[in-house]
């Protein structure tokens, strides 16, 4: 196995876990320490990507470009990345982020909808950005389908395509099989993004590396949607134990996770009943905060909402189903 490039997405995926309440000061501290620790790529944006601060996705406490500017003004070595979801973000935000000086744009679509990303990959390359494709909810499709979608992204100019376990629903064999299929079919790099709903984020990331993953993701303290992501500091410790010369300062990462990130948590990132239900049912992790709010409002069980969303095979963009399901469950009581 080779050592892949590590992207820390605490300040993007972690935004979900703090209801998008990151402050400029928090951005500055976290970026400074991640940079000091040697993390090569730091992702910063609303949890749902550029222009994600909406009533449907959840409003940010501070304007996203103010937070992005703070990161860009702080960083010295690392590349700054942002997430972009077509239909949430537009070319306006993509151009603005590029003009501000981001290095990497990660373009995320449902894993059967790569065709909607063509104009955004082409624009990203025109703007001189590294362009990374995200095939979200990749557990829902077999490797053959993911290969076809990834090859579309490659044809549009993607520099890397990620297998994304958005629901934390994969087993190690699932991660390895999907990454291997993309490695065999593509001439560009392949990445893997894990969530921890089944307690397998680290194991799945290692399995992806076994299949040749070139890029992997983590978040400090596992801060992320649902049960969180592969914890960056744990992942680095595991890789060091495996004998990799990571070039990363584990001590700084552990201190950052413990002293800075942990106090930000509104609640511990654990595999509770709701998170486990989400992973088992294969429901998009960013739904969970909205599910909990709906469950409380209508006096129903959050796990019952998740189970129904799983049956409906809900995907990103169908958050309106959460209220619909909650209302129907309340009517049955």
The CATH number linked to 211 is 3.20.20.70
Encode pLDDT of 59-82 as tens digits. Answer: 999 999 999 999 999 999 999 999
- If asked whether residues 121 and 246 sit together in one domain, one would say yes
Domain closes at, from 246, 264, 282: 264
Arithmetic mean of pLDDT, 15-40: 96
Domain closes at, from 238, 264, 290: 264
Nearest to 215 by CA among 22, 41, 27, 45: 41
In order of 178, 181, 275, the CA distances from 173 in angstroms are 9, 12, 21
Q: What percent of the chain has pLDDT over 90?
A: 75
Arithmetic mean of pLDDT, 203-229: 96
- If asked whether residues 158 and 251 sit together in one domain, one would say yes
| Per-residue confidence (pLDDT) for residue 297, from 0 to 100 | 79
Residue 284 labeled ligand binder: yes
- If asked whether residues 256 and 277 sit together in one domain, one would say no
Residue 12 labeled ligand binder: yes
Nearest to 195 by CA among 271, 273, 292, 95: 271
With a cut of 70, say whether residue 285 has pLDDT above it.
no
The band of 9, judged by pLDDT with boundaries at 50, 70 and 90, is very high
DSSP per-residue codes, 20-85: T---HHHHHHHHHHHHHHT-SEEEES-TT-TT--BTTTB--SS-HHHHHHHHHHH-SSSEEEEEE-
Encode pLDDT of 147-158 as tens digits. Answer: 999 999 999 999
Candidate list 16, 51, 139, 290, residue with the active-site label:
16
Entry pTM: 0.91
Spatial distance between the Cα atoms of 11 and 77, rounded to a whole number of angstroms: 17
With a cut of 90, say whether residue 304 has pLDDT above it.
no
| Per-residue confidence (pLDDT) for residue 291, from 0 to 100 | 80
* CATH number, domain with residue 323: 1.10.8.60
With a cut of 90, say whether residue 313 has pLDDT above it.
no
List CB contacts of 181: < 8 A, sequence separation 6 or more. Answer: 143, 144, 146, 147
Task: Please calculate the CA angle 246-249-253 and round it to the nearest 5 degrees.
Answer: 115
With a cut of 70, say whether residue 317 has pLDDT above it.
no
Q: Catalytic annotation on 32?
A: no
Give the chain's mean pLDDT: 92
For residue 139 the two structure tokens come to 């557990």
Helix orientation angle between 91-100 and 118-126, rounded to the nearest 10 degrees: 30
Residue 221 labeled ligand binder: no
With a cut of 90, say whether residue 168 has pLDDT above it.
yes
Looking at beta carbons, which pairs linking 144-147 to residues 24 or more positions away fall under 8 Å? 144/181, 145/111, 145/112, 146/111, 146/178, 146/181, 146/182, 147/181, 147/182, 147/185, 147/186
| Host domain of residue 90 | 5-264
- If asked whether residues 216 and 244 sit together in one domain, one would say yes
List CB contacts of 164: < 8 A, sequence separation 6 or more. Answer: 108, 111, 134, 135, 136, 137, 138, 192, 193
Q: What percent of the chain has pLDDT over 70?
A: 98
Domain closes at, from 231, 264, 297: 264
Residue 195 labeled ligand binder: yes
- If asked whether residues 102 and 196 sit together in one domain, one would say yes
Based on the structure, what is the number of domains in the chain? 2
List CB contacts of 298: < 8 A, sequence separation 6 or more. Answer: 326, 327, 329, 330
With a cut of 80, say whether residue 234 has pLDDT above it.
yes
With a cut of 80, say whether residue 289 has pLDDT above it.
no
For residue 9 the two structure tokens come to 């997405």
| Per-residue confidence (pLDDT) for residue 271, from 0 to 100 | 92
- If asked whether residues 252 and 175 sit together in one domain, one would say yes
């Amino acid at each position: 196995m080779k050592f892949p490039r590590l992207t820390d997405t605490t300040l993007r995926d972690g935004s979900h876990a703090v209801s998008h309440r990151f402050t400029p000061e928090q951005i500055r501290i976290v970026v400074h320490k991640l940079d000091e620790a040697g993390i090569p790529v730091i992702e910063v944006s609303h949890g749902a990507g550029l222009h994600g601060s909406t009533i449907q996705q959840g409003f940010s406490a501070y304007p996203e470009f103010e937070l992005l500017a703070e990161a860009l003004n702080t960083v010295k070595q690392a590349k700054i990345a942002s997430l972009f979801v077509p239909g949430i973000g537009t070319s306006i935000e993509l151009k603005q982020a590029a003009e501000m000086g981001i290095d990497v744009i990660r373009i995320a679509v449902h894993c059967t909808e790569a065709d909607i990303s063509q104009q955004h990959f082409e624009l990203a390359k025109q703007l001189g950005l590294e362009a990374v494709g995200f095939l979200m909810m990749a557990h829902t499709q077999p490797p053959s389908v993911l290969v076809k979608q990834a090859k579309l992204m490659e044809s549009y100019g993607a520099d890397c395509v990620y297998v994304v376990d958005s629901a934390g629903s994969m087993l190690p064999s699932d991660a390895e099989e999907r990454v291997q299929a993309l490695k065999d079919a593509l001439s560009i790099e392949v990445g893997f993004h894990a969530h921890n709903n089944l307690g397998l984020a680290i194991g799945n990331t290692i399995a992806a590396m076994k299949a040749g993953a070139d890029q992997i993701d983590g978040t400090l303290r596992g801060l992320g949607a649902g049960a969180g992501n592969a914890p960056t500091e744990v992942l680095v410790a595991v890789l060091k134990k495996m004998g990799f010369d990571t070039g990363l300062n584990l001590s700084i990462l552990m201190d950052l996770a413990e002293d800075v990130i942990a106090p930000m948590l509104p609640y511990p990132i654990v595999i509770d009943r709701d998170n486990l239900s989400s992973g088992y049912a294969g429901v998009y992790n960013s739904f969970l905060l909205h599910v909990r709010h709906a469950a409380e409002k209508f006096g129903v069980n959050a796990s019952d909402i998740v189970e129904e969303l799983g049956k409906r095979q809900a995907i990103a963009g169908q958050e309106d189903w959460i209220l619909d399901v909650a209302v129907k469950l309340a009517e049955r009581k």
